Amino acid sequence: MGWILLIPALLALGLFATWRYAVATGGVGLLDRVDRMVGGTDGTRVALMGGRYGTLAAQRVDVIVPSGPAIARRPVIVFVHGGGWNSGNPGDYHFLGRTFARAGYVVVLPGYRLVPDGVWPHMLEDTAKAVAWTRDHAATYGGDPDRVFLMGQSAGAYNTVMVALERQWLGREGVADHFIKGVVGLSGPYDFLPFTTPSAKAAFGGVVPPAITQPVRYARGDAPPMLLLTGDADETVKPRNTASLAAILHAAGSVVETVVIPGVDHKDTVIKLAQPFLRDRRELDPVLAFLARHGGASAPVQTARR
C-alpha cells in the first residue's frame, strides 16, 4: 500500500521539478502561462492592458485588480520587472498581478526603456514617471493614491530602490517626498561596483563617476521603509548587495528589514510568486506581512480554485 501511495507523489514531484526547470529556462512568459493554467484567473481581472504613461514605446502599463466589490479603495503595488535592463515585458508578469490582486492590491505593471535606449538614467526617469502616473490614475482602478508601494525584482529592484532613495527622480515628476509608503526589493543589485557583467556595462558603463549609479550612495534616515529579500544561492546578484544596503540604511536610522531564504537562487524570487510554486510561502508571507505593517492589505491571499 505504501508503494502505491508513493508512486503518485513521486510523479507529482517530478512534474513540479519539470515545470520549474521549464520556467527557469523558458522565460517569464512561460511562468505566466503556467500560473494561468494551474491557478486560473479567479478573483482577478485585467483592468488595463497596454496603457500609456508616456509617449515613448516602452512607456506602457498594465493594471491587474481584484475582481470583487471593494468597500474602500485598495492599496497599490507598482511592480517593476527585471531582465538586466535589456529585456522584459510587463505583459509577462500578469501572474504577479494576480497573486497580489488576490491579496487585496491594485497592481500596476509598467515597462521602461531597455538597453540600448535604456542606458542610465533612463530606467530611473521612466520608473519615476510610472509612479507619477499611478498617483494620478490609481483611483480610476479602485486604488488608494495615499497607499502606494514599490516592488521590483533584480534590475527592477534597482530601479525602485533608486527612485525611492534619490529624491531627484520622483521630484522631477512632482511626486511628494513621502508619497511612497514602502519598497520591496527582490534580489536587487544595490552595491555592484565595479561593473563586471555585460548587462551592467551596457547600462552604466558610460557614467562618470560610476559611483553615482549606486543605491548605497543615497541611503538616508528618512527613506521609505524597505524590505530587501534575496536567496543565499543567488550567483547572479550576490546577497552581499542586500546586506550592504541594509547595513547602510540601518546606520542612517531608516526602517529596513531583510529576508535571506536558504536554497533560493536569482530566478526563484520570481518563480515563487506564481502557481504552483506559491506553495512555498517563504517569500510571499514576509512580503505581505511587511506591506500590511506599513498600510497595505491585511486580508490573506485567496488562492484561486478551478
Beta pairing class for 60-66 and 44-52: antiparallel
Residue 32: partners with Cβ closer than 8 Å, 6 or more residues away: 92, 93, 94, 95, 274
Half-sphere exposure of 232 (CA within 13 A, CB side): 6
Which residues of the chain are modeled with pLDDT < 70? 1-26, 299-306
Phi, psi of 243 (to 5 degrees): -65, -40
pTM: 0.91
Nearest alpha-carbon partner for 123 in 87, 74, 77, 75: 87
- 10 Å CB burial of residue 119 (0-12, 13-18, 19+) is middle
Question: What is the 8-class DSSP label of residue 150?
Answer: E
State residue 298's pLDDT score: 82
Distance CA 240, CA 225 (A): 19
| Residues 221 and 275 sit within 8 Å (Cβ to Cβ) | no
How do beta strands 74-80 and 106-110 pair? Answer: parallel
Structure-block grid coordinates of residue 267: 530566478
Helix 155-165 / helix 122-137 crossing angle, nearest 10 deg: 70
Go through the domains of the chain in sequence order and give each one's CATH number: 2-293 (3.40.50.1820)
Residues 157 and 227: beta-carbon distance below 8 Å: no
